[in-house]
């Protein structure tokens, strides 16, 4: 933004205002997607069709496993604290304590294409 403002001979605060107000451009968070290399995109389409035709009469089962921390405060999410200045809040409010090798649970579950769900398997 600063380099573009310099080339257009504008103040660095003017360009974002033009972008937001006059052009109605907003910034959005990028999403994750698979990174295809070479001809993977075309091969993925052919591969999906091959799996479909090969398994047409069979019941497909999807299974997945995930790890969950024993302590619910250790879940990955954004945490906020409020203060007049960054260093004024107490230390306990500014940090999220996290142990290095924390206890976690492994959860496995399966579902078929007809909607039948298995009982979850949970272990530590």
The three-point CA angle 50-32-66 to 5° equals 75
Under the banding of pLDDT at 50, 70 and 90, the label for residue 42 is confident
What mean pLDDT comes out for the span 106-116? 90
Window from 23-27, 36-40, 107-111 with minimum mean pLDDT? 23-27
Range of the domain at 93: 59-124
**81 within some domain:** yes
pLDDT tens track for 88-103: 788 888 887 777 788 8
For the chain, the domain total comes to 1
**89 within some domain:** yes
Question: Which has the higher per-residue pLDDT, 123 or 75?
Answer: 123
**79 within some domain:** yes
Q: pTM (2 decimals)?
A: 0.45
**11 within some domain:** no
**121 within some domain:** yes
**92 within some domain:** yes
Helices (H), the chain: 2-7, 14-17, 40-54, 91-94
**14 within some domain:** no
């Amino acid at each position: 933004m600063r380099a573009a403002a310099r080339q257009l001979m504008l103040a660095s605060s003017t360009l974002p205002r033009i972008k937001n107000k006059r052009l109605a451009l907003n910034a959005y968070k990028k999403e994750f997607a698979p990174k295809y290399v070479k001809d993977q995109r075309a091969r993925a389409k052919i591969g999906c069709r091959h799996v479909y035709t090969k398994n047409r009469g069979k019941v497909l089962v999807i299974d997945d496993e995930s790890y969950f921390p024993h302590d619910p405060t250790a879940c990955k999410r954004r945490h906020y604290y409020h203060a007049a200045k960054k260093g004024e809040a107490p230390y306990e409010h500014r940090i999220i304590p996290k142990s290095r090798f924390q206890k976690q649970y492994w959860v496995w579950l399966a579902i078929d294409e007809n909607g039948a769900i298995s009982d979850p398997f949970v272990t530590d």
